[in-house]
């Protein structure tokens, strides 16, 4: 039987393809796969750069923000009813205690004083006459006592009239700055209505808020350094610490007294306050290595004795141009300065230790 040539060609092609696949699959099997353990090891042990930090004695310093305030301010008010006839002091002037800020019309007050003085003079004449008669035996001593009481009453009337007359002058109760004038000439003031506002600027007060953890480390009389937003650097002392915390903020208002005899310092200015709170053990670290844990707490990642990553929540107590001083780290610590954002707590790492100058240890 004669076989068709096309069948023979097709069978040969199928055989050639089968031999090609068989040959190439055998070559792939000869290649050994890369060692799986070394690849996994490179992934599991990341490299980080660490610096050795030892705890040192350092001055604990609280850095707080507040504002300057006047020592006190009052509204100078009328003590009697009357028409304002004079306002001799202009706003913004520095004045001494006793300066008249507003003056009311005298009205009948001078006449009342004159009448009281005349009454006193008459009572004194009656007393002197009766005293002469008593000495001569023509009048009893009891009558003299009654006339003495009348003299005393008339004298009290004179003093009352003098006070009432002087009440038309509204005077500054202390030295300060006449900040604002409320009453104008022609205004009729009743007792208790204001003439103007007086503020005392010496000493100046800088008010800050202490937290619950800070208030126990600060005491009255302690020194504080203040830098005002207007550029002045001044020193003061703590004069007041609030006994009860603010119910909303849980902070304690604290006042720092600052001398201001030349009135150069102004009130209402933002202030940065530094208060020294004793010596503590702290480490100096770069500020760039600070990071957050899963709870949002600020801290530093470090490498512990078995080359695993740890995390400590820190408290900043001071800063300088090269970094910050913090508490909360172990006394001897290898802090991660490179790679801290790519590792988590408990991760095993391959640390490269460098010194402060960057040299490998």
Residue 292 in any domain: the answer is yes
Bigger pLDDT: 83 or 41?
83
Helix (H) and strand (E) counts in the chain: 4, 22
The pLDDT of residue 361 is above 50: no
DSSP code for 4: P
Residue 239 and residue 146 share a domain: no
CA 310, CA 304: separation in Å to the nearest integer?
Answer: 6
pLDDT confidence of residue 287: 86
Q: Which of 223, 248, 279 is the last residue of a domain?
A: 279
Q: What is the CATH number of the domain that holds 253?
A: 2.40.30.170
Banded pLDDT at 15 (limits 50, 70, 90) = low
Is there a single domain that holds both residue 89 and residue 189?
yes
For residue 197, is pLDDT > 80? Answer: yes
Higher-confidence residue: 253 or 43?
253
In a domain, 195, yes or no: yes
- Same domain for 143 and 116: yes
In a domain, 227, yes or no: yes
End-to-end CA distance of the chain: 90
In a domain, 287, yes or no: yes
Q: What is the pTM of this model?
A: 0.62
118 and 145: one domain? yes
Residues 195 and 232 grouped into a single domain: no
Mean of pLDDT values over 127-147: 74
Please report whether residue 347 resides in a domain. yes
Residues 177 and 94 in one domain: yes
CA 96 to chain centre: 31
Percent of the chain with pLDDT over 70: 85
Distance CA 66, CA 207 (A): 5
Quickly count: other Cβ atoms within 10 Å of residue 25's Cβ.
9
CATH number at residue 112: 2.40.50.100
Domain end position, chosen among 136, 171, 199: 199
Determine the Cα–Cα distance for residues 71 and 144; give it in Å rounded to an integer: 55
Looking at the structure, do residues 265 and 204 belong to the same domain, yes or no? yes
Q: What is the CATH number of the domain that holds 340?
A: 2.40.420.20
Residue 359 pLDDT level (bands cut at 50, 70, 90): very low
**Which is it for the CA torsion 19, 24, 30, 32, positive or negative?**
negative
In the 3-class helix/strand/coil scheme, how is 193-259 assigned residue by residue?
A: CEEEEEEECCCEEEEEEECCCCHHHCCCCCEEEEEECCCCEEEEEEEEECCCCCCCCCCEEEEEEEC
**Winning range, highest mean pLDDT, from 25-29, 254-258, 328-332, 351-355:** 254-258
- 62 confidence band (pLDDT: 50, 70, 90): confident
Average pLDDT over residues 213-240: 92
State which of 229-233, 302-306, 327-331 shows the largest mean pLDDT: 229-233
Averaged pLDDT for residues 121-141: 76
Given a cut of 60, is residue 338 above it in pLDDT?
yes
Amino acid 123: pLDDT: 83
- 102 and 192 in a single domain? The answer is yes
Do 240 and 306 reside in the same domain of the chain? no
Separation between Cα atoms, residue 256 and residue 210, nearest integer Å = 12
> Is residue 266 one of the residues assigned to a domain?
yes
Treating both helix axes as pointing N-terminal to C-terminal, what angle do 141-166 and 109-136 enclose, rounded to 10 degrees? 160
Q: Which domain holds residue 215?
A: 64-71+200-279
Statement to judge: residues 195 and 209 lie in one domain: no
What is the rounded average pLDDT of the residues 59-69?
A: 88
261 shares its domain with 287: no
Q: Count of domains in the chain?
A: 3
- The DSSP code sequence of 274-334 is EEEEEEEEEEEE-GGG-EE-TT--EEEEEE-TTSBEEEEE-EEEEEETTEEEEESS-SEEE
Q: 181: Cβ–Cβ under 8 A, 6 or more apart, which residues?
A: 87, 89, 90, 91, 101, 195, 196
Q: Report CA 299 to chain centroid distance, whole Å.
A: 24
Nearest-angstrom CA–CA distance, 238 and 277 = 13
What percentage of the chain carries pLDDT values higher than 90? Answer: 41
| pLDDT score, position 10 | 61
pLDDT computed for residue 201 by the predictor: 94
CA distance 348 to 46: 8
> What one-character DSSP code corresponds to residue 348?
B
């Amino acid at each position: 039987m004669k076989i068709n040539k096309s069948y023979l060609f097709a069978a040969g092609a199928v055989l050639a393809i089968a031999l090609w696949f068989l040959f190439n699959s055998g070559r792939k099997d000869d290649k050994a796969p890369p060692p799986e353990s070394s690849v996994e090891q490179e992934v599991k042990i990341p490299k980080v750069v660490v610096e050795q930090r030892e705890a040192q004695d350092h001055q604990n310093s609280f850095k707080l923000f507040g504002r300057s305030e006047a020592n006190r301010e009052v509204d100078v008010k009328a003590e009697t009813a009357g028409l304002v006839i004079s306002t001799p002091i202009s706003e913004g002037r520095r004045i001494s205690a006793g300066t008249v800020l507003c003056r009311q019309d005298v009205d009948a007050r001078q006449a009342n004083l004159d009448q009281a003085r005349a009454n006193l003079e008459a009572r004194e004449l009656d007393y002197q006459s009766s005293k002469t008669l008593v000495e001569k035996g023509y009048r009893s001593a009891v009558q003299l006592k009654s006339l003495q009481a009348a003299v005393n009453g008339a004298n009290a009337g004179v003093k009352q009239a003098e006070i009432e007359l002087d009440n038309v002058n509204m005077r500054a109760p202390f030295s300060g700055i006449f900040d604002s004038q409320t009453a104008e000439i022609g205004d009729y003031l009743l007792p208790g209505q204001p003439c103007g506002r007086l503020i005392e600027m010496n000493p100046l007060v800088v008010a800050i808020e202490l937290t619950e953890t800070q208030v126990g480390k600060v005491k009255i009389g302690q020194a504080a350094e203040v830098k005002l937003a207007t550029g002045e650097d001044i020193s003061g002392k703590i004069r007041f610490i609030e006994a009860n915390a603010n119910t909303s903020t849980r902070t304690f208002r604290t006042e720092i007294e600052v001398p201001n005899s030349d009135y150069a310092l102004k009130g209402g200015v933002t202030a940065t306050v530094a208060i020294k709170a004793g010596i503590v053990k702290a480490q100096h670290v770069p500020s760039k290595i600070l990071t957050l844990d899963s709870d949002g707490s600020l801290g530093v990642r470090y490498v512990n004795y078995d080359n695993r990553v740890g995390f400590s929540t820190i408290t900043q107590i001071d800063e300088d141009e090269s970094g910050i001083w913090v508490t909360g780290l172990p006394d001897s610590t290898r802090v991660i300065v490179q790679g801290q954002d790519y590792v988590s707590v408990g991760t095993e790492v391959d640390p490269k230790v460098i010194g402060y100058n960057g040299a490998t240890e």
